[in-house]
Structures are given as C-alpha cells and as structure tokens.
Structure 1
C-alpha cells in the first residue's frame, strides 16, 4: 500500500491504479509513464550533447531520394486532383447551374411523359376500336336471335290460327244452332262402350234405346224400408 501511495504522488506517473483486499485476494497495479512537461528545461546531462550525424550509404541514399521524389509527385498530383474536384463541385453547387439542371431535367421528363401519353393514347384507341367492334357484333347477333325468336312465335301463332279456322266450322253459333240440333237428332251417338283384355271396343248398335233405370219415389223408398 505504501508503494502505491508513493507512485500515485509522483509527478511522472499517471493513471496508477491499485487494488488490495484481504486473505486469498489478488493485488493488481498498472502504471503509465508520461513524457517530460514542455515547460521543463533541458536536462543538465543533455545540454552540451551533440548528436552524431547518421552515415547513410550512397545506394540507400539514392533509393530514399527516389522514394521521396515519388511521394512528392504523388502528393502534388493528388492535391491537384482534389482542387479540380473542388472547383467542379463549386460549379455544380452554383444556384444558377442547379436551376438550369433542374429545368433541363424537367423538360426531359416532360418529353418522356408526352411520349408515354401518345403511346398510351394510341393503344387506347386500338383497344376501344376492338371493343366497339366486339360490341357491334354482339348487338347484331342479339338482333338476329330476336328476329329468329319473333319468326318462330309468328309461325306458332299462324299454326294456331289455322287450327282455329279449321275448328271454326264445327263451332255452334246462333246462326247454325238449329242445324246442329237437327244433325244431333238425326245422328245419335252411343257412349256405352266396353273394352276387353285384347283392347277391342264393344259398342251397342245404334237405334236400340239404353236400358231403363227404375225411378223410385220417396214414398216407395219408405215403404221398402218398412
């Protein structure tokens, strides 16, 4: 603990940390040495010290010089390129240039939009013409169907009229009622018929009166009951 206190109070030691606990503990300590402050003078041991000039071989010196020249060339080229880019950006960021570019872009977009509208209008005209033709054909087909339906109804009506005209000769009216009565009396019809298992009809001969059914009165019925 005493060592940690001494290190923490030293002006040449910074960021010194220490931890210490009781039994079965681990003691950790970190130190970071810092440079001499800038306001302190040169040390007395280094005031009159003259550093030796390094001796570089001629081949190595030429290689270093070549690399340095290449570095300066690349650096000047890069700086010049950045300056040109900066000038171009200044020109591009000019409000007049920006407004002109926006106007040109608007005109270009408007031209493209007009071309699209013309193409869409042409396609729409073709589509509408096709739809109108299909609609016309459908209407004509419906008209033909209606004509055929009316023709069929007219034929059916004509057939009914013909049948009624044929039957009109047998209709009894006020004019021919006497004639119809005389005809019925002269040509009696017997409806007493029978049929056998073979499907043959047996009819009574005409001119024979039907069997008489005895008629009983109420008095006779009461006497029969008594």
Structure 2
C-alpha cells in the first residue's frame, strides 16, 4: 500500500526494526535515507554560511576563557574534595568521628547489656513457669496414682468381706457331718435341661 506525498510514492508502513520484526507506521512526510532526493532540490548546492572574521576571533577568545574558567573550577572542587578527605582521615574530623564512634559503641554496649538482662529475666520466668507446671503435673500424677491405689484397696477389701461372708457356708471338718445330714434331708435334682428360651425343663418320671 503506497501514498503519494509531494509528487513521490512513499510506503505507508515501513520496517523500522527488521531484527525484532516489528512493523510500525512512519511519520507522515518523513523520508528515509534510501529515498531519492526531491525533484525541487536536485540542482541545489549546499554552501556554508559566511563567517565573520571579527566574530570568529571574539568567539575563540571567549571559548578559551570559558575553558580556562572551567578548568580552574574543576581544580578548585577537586582540591576541596581532597582536603576534606584528608581532614576526615587524619585531621580534627577524624578525631570527632572516632569520638562519635566510641560514644556509639558505648551506647550500643549499654543497650546490649540491658537487653541481655531483660532476656535473662524472661528466661528465668519461663524456666520457673516450666518448673511449676512440671511440679503441678507430677503432683497430679501422684494424686491420681494414690487415688487408684485407694480404689484398688477398697476393691480388695470388698472382695475379702465377700469371701469372709461366703466362708461361713464353706464345708469344714467341724461341720462336715451336719452338712451331710442336711444334704440327705434336702435332696436336689440337677438332672434338667434348658430350652431355646432359657426355661428349665425338668425330667418327668413316667409311671
């Protein structure tokens, strides 16, 4: 696609960045280096503008003065910078800086000591709290074991009382004859069965 500008054909879109592969629209009326010279300027010869000798002498003198002033200013600034650096390293400013650093060091050491004391107090409180918690847990464990032991003793005492109560009905050598006579006087028949519902089914004697 081409557009006619001042009697020549100019592509509307040029490849401005061939490596990146980006197509951009050019400015209207702007020509590139590869475009031919305009027809209105084909016979034109460029002539440098005339130079006034007096003006050239004045400009050269002023430019030389400008360079001299700028060189002097640069040297002045450089000397001031070097003097300041020297004073910082070996002069009164170095002493002041050393004093400030010493004061800052003392302040930091005092802050460090205060922080260490604070952390020591925090650590001691934490250790004391942990010890109290451990003692409380140990006490609870001892109480729990003591309670379990008391319950065990009560259970054993109950079993002993039950055994003592049951021992009254044990058969001994002293009451052996009496228990035999009671068994003969009160016979019991254990010859019975149990149905599916759990009822006792006694044997019936057929006549």
TM-score of the superposed pair, with normalisation by structure 2 = 0.53
Distance, in Å, in 2 between the alignment partners of 1:120 and 1:63 is 71
Higher relative contact order (CA 8 A, sep 6+): 1
Q: Which residue of 2 aligns with 1:76?
A: 76
The structure having more radius of gyration, on CA atoms, is 1
Distance, in Å, in 1 between the alignment partners of 2:171 and 2:193 is 32
Gaps in structure 2 of 5+ consecutive residues: 1-53
Distance, in Å, in 2 between the alignment partners of 1:140 and 1:80 is 79
1:142 matched to 2:141: yes
Distance, in Å, in 2 between the alignment partners of 1:81 and 1:147 is 86
The answer to whether the Cα contact below 8 Å between 1:190 and 1:204 also exists between their aligned partners in 2 is no
Report 1:1-226 matches (<5 A). Answer: 57-58=57-58, 60-91=60-91, 107-108=106-107, 110-191=109-190, 193-195=191-193, 197=195, 199-202=199-202
Distance, in Å, in 1 between the alignment partners of 2:148 and 2:195 is 48
The answer to whether the Cα contact below 8 Å between 1:190 and 1:203 also exists between their aligned partners in 2 is no
Distance, in Å, in 1 between the alignment partners of 2:98 and 2:201 is 114
Distance, in Å, in 2 between the alignment partners of 1:196 and 1:70 is 131
Gaps in structure 1 of 5+ consecutive residues: 1-54, 206-226
Distance, in Å, in 2 between the alignment partners of 1:178 and 1:67 is 149
List per-residue Cα deviations over 1:152-173 (Å, max 9, x = no partner). Answer: 2133213212211221111123
Change (3 A) 1:197 1:61: closer
Distance, in Å, in 2 between the alignment partners of 1:111 and 1:62 is 64
Distance, in Å, in 2 between the alignment partners of 1:99 and 1:71 is 36
* Post-superposition offset of 1:63: 4.5
Distance, in Å, in 2 between the alignment partners of 1:204 and 1:125 is 88
How many pairs does the alignment contain? 149
TM-score of the superposed pair, with normalisation by structure 1 = 0.50
